[in-house]
Amino acid sequence: MSLTETIQQIYPDEVYNTLVQIGQIAHRLGLKAYAVGGFVRDLLLQTTNFDIDIMVNGDAIPFATQAAKEFNAECKLIDRFHTAHMYLPGMTVDFSSARKEIYEQPGALPTVSLSSNITDDLHRRDFTINAIALSISPDKPFELVDPFGGARDIERKQIKILHAKSFEDDPTRLYRALRFADRFNFNLEPTTEDLFDTAIAMNAPATVSPKRIAAEIDKCFQEKRPLTLLNKYQSAGLLSFFHKSFTRLKRPAFSFCMVKAVATRLSFKFKNISENALFWSLLLLSIPPMEAQPLLNASGLPHSITNTIWNTLTSFASVPQKLIAANDKFSIYKTLSEATPETTGLMLLCFKQPEITSKLNTYVNELSKIKPAISGDDLIEIGIAPGPQIRDIFEQILRQKLNGIEMTRKDELDLARRISGI
């Protein structure tokens, strides 16, 4: 089957038409356009990938600007890198200018210059399977440009670097090699494997910033089976470059396997629960608590996530004891609702003792959905002044409802009047 036929078979026609139209826009501007990277690799693996990377042999900025106009789409231009992102329904299209890279220092980001030669651009990439281009220009529609044998390596199911200094130049490729091997069930090609081992023996990732390593760990959590990959990172010694304590994960493997299931279960009750924050919190239980905060600060993860992780880790240190001591439903509710929903998730993952798990399940299945029927505005309307008294009233209403007393809206308002003495 030709690649045109494969695209037409595995993708909705919007993807095919988008590629053809982008190729035509490039042609009108006197440029050659190619799909590159994960999209082409996944096409050869006959799987879909809706993050489409387009490379042109010239400046991508005017090209993306014109494309966004013709697609009537939102587009974000990043002048400094000569790249742009265009958002289309169901897919994102990233535009880049063909580049050449020079690594002046191992581990640091490279010096980049524009190049009109597409092989230069493919040569700067990590593995042969990611260094394939697919022409989308109308004169060469859907023709592969594969100077490094990427298609052959996909057939051989192997991850192969392009040159001997690749891991040294960019040690994040060590993480990426294991990630792609795990995802596609590929092996490292023998020379690549030797160079992989050498790079680790030489502590190559020590030159990489915690932010870039955190980004790799974060990508691991987004894989279908994060645990198998996490184990591979750990056995290769790659986790300990993020923190020395990660030579051993303190939590049982089983807990990591359950993160997605627990996050999905809790998402029915708590809209904002973050599976990602739950993964990170579980991982960070393996290091001394005081060291988690500086590590999170250096991780480059979004603040909203690092705050959630930190609050979860802090609560995790005290909530289990409080929960054991909680002897009515209101106390269970109060203990858990004052912590992040991820704390409940983390406890479900880490504790097996019935005196904790039964209370966690009661909270999740029963208590978390009990709410007062009235709102703060209702209380203000009946003449109660805004302030701490409103919080006390809600607490009392909840205490009664959680402990099984049925209350109508009117009962709640009556109780509020009684408490406030109006």
Least distance to ligand CTP, CB of residue 35, Å: 11
Min dist CB 37 to ligand CTP, Å, is 3
Number of H helices, E strands in the chain: 21, 11
In the complex with ligand CTP, the residue whose CB is nearer, 212 or 417, is: 212
Least gap, CB of 14 to ligand CTP (angstroms)? 20
Choice between 119 and 389, CB closer to ligand CTP = 119
Q: Is 130 in the site for ligand CTP (CB under 6 A)?
A: yes
Residue 20 CB, nearest distance to ligand CTP (Å)? 22
Distance, CA of 350 to CA of 315 (rounded, Å): 14
> Measured between alpha carbons, how far is 331 from 206 in angstroms, rounded to an integer?
47
- Strands 133-135, 143-145: pairing is antiparallel
Q: How many other CB atoms sit within 10 Å of the CB of residue 356?
A: 18
CB-nearer residue toward ligand CTP: 45 or 350: 45
Choices 165-173, 290-298, 334-342, 344-352 (CB under 6 A): range interacting with ligand CTP:
165-173
User: Using CB under 6 A, which residues numbered 290 to 309 contact ligand CTP?
Assistant: none
In this chain, which stretch among 134-142, 170-178, 280-288, 356-364 interacts with ligand CTP, using CB under 6 A? 170-178
3 state DSSP class of 31: coil
Is residue 38 classed exposed, middle or buried when 0-12, 13-18 and 19+ CB atoms within 10 A define those classes?
middle
| Interface map 191-230 toward ligand CTP (x if CB under 6 A) | ----------------------------------------
Distance in angstroms (rounded) separating the CA atoms of residues 343 and 310: 10
CB-count burial class (<10 Å; 0-12, 13-18, 19+) for 79 = exposed
What 3-state class would DSSP assign to 139? coil
Closest CB 400 distance from ligand CTP, rounded Å? 51
Please state the φ and ψ torsions of residue 112, each to the nearest 5 degrees.
-120, 140
Nearer to ligand CTP, 130 or 276 (CB): 130
| Longest distance between any two alpha carbons in the chain, whole Å | 83
Residue 1 in 3-state DSSP? coil
Of 265, 272, 295, the C-alpha closest to 283 is 295
Position 37 contacts ligand CTP (CB under 6 A): yes
Across 277-311, b (16+ Cβ under 10 Å) vs e yields bbbbbbbbbbbeeeebeebbeebebeeebbebbbb
160 binding ligand CTP? (CB under 6 A): no
How many residues touch ligand CTP under the rule CB under 6 A: the total is 9
Binding segment toward ligand CTP, per CB under 6 A, in 166-174, 265-273, 313-321, 393-401: 166-174
Quick one: 174 or 393, whose CB is closer to ligand CTP? 174
Burial of residue 190, with CB atoms counted within 10 A of its CB: 0-12 exposed, 13-18 middle, 19 or more buried: exposed
What 99-103 contacts at long range (C-beta under 8 Å, 24+ apart), as own/partner pairs, is 99/124, 100/124, 103/165, 103/169, 103/170
Shortest distance (Å) from residue 126 CB to ligand CTP: 3
Nearest to 31 by CA among 64, 57, 68, 62: 57
Segment near ligand CTP (CB under 6 A), from 7-15, 54-62, 123-131, 140-148? 123-131
| Binder among 82, 125, 160, 359 for ligand CTP (CB under 6 A) | 125
Cα–Cα dist 415/404, whole Å: 16
Interface with ligand CTP (CB under 6 A), residue from 18, 97, 137, 172: 172
Nearer to ligand CTP, 38 or 300 (CB): 38
Name the minimum Å distance from CB 398 to ligand CTP: 45
Q: Which stretch binds ligand CTP (CB under 6 A): 103-111, 169-177, 249-257, 365-373?
A: 169-177
From candidates 126, 146, 168, 189, binder to ligand CTP by CB under 6 A: 126
CB of 383 to ligand CTP, least distance (A): 58
What is the DSSP annotation of 36-53?
ETHHHHHHHTT----EEE
x/- contact string, 70-109, with ligand CTP (CB under 6 A)?
----------------------------------------
Phi and psi, residue 114, nearest 5°: -70, 150
Selected from 38, 107, 237, 376, the binder of ligand CTP by CB under 6 A is: 38
Binding residues for ligand CTP, per CB under 6 A? 37-38, 125-126, 130, 170, 172-173, 176
